[in-house]
Amino acid sequence: MELRRLDIILTYNCTGCCAHCCYRAWPEQGGTMTVAEVAGYLEALNGQPLEGILLFGGEPFLCYDLLRESIQLAASLVPQVHVFTNGYGPPIRLPLDSC
Ligand code: SF4
């Protein structure tokens, strides 16, 4: 079996608390991955013809450092990296080199 897309739930923490949430995400729900775990999954899929990776949650901007590192790891493997956000993440101060 060949995998072309990979979706990674970085965290179940969310700024929302929606009754319809299929991920049962809410504030302080927990279940946040580590960079080592993300790297491990990506390494395990090395050799697959992945075309894109989706990073989401919960609200992935709640674990901004993990999100940034995961984007970098994913972008080294695939041409398309997507991030789903509910748009209600915490304020983020971007480093100057990203502007
Ligand atoms: S992940 Fe989406 S649906 Fe679930 S609680 Fe957060 S905003 Fe709501």
pTM: 0.89
- DSSP-assigned beta bridge partners for residue 13: 26
Q: Are 55 and 71 in contact (CB under 8 A)?
A: yes
Q: Ligand 1 in contact with 35 (CB < 6 A)? A: no
25 touches ligand 1 (CB under 6 Å): yes
pLDDT digits (tens, 9 = 90+) for 26-70: 999 999 999 999 999 999 998 999 999 999 999 999 999 999 999
Dist CA 66 CA 3 (whole Å) = 24
Ligand 1, atom 1, lies closest to the CA of 58
* d(CA 57, ligand 1 centre) in Å: 8
pLDDT in tens, 71-82: 999 999 999 999
Q: Is 21 in the pocket of ligand 1 (CB under 6 A)?
A: yes
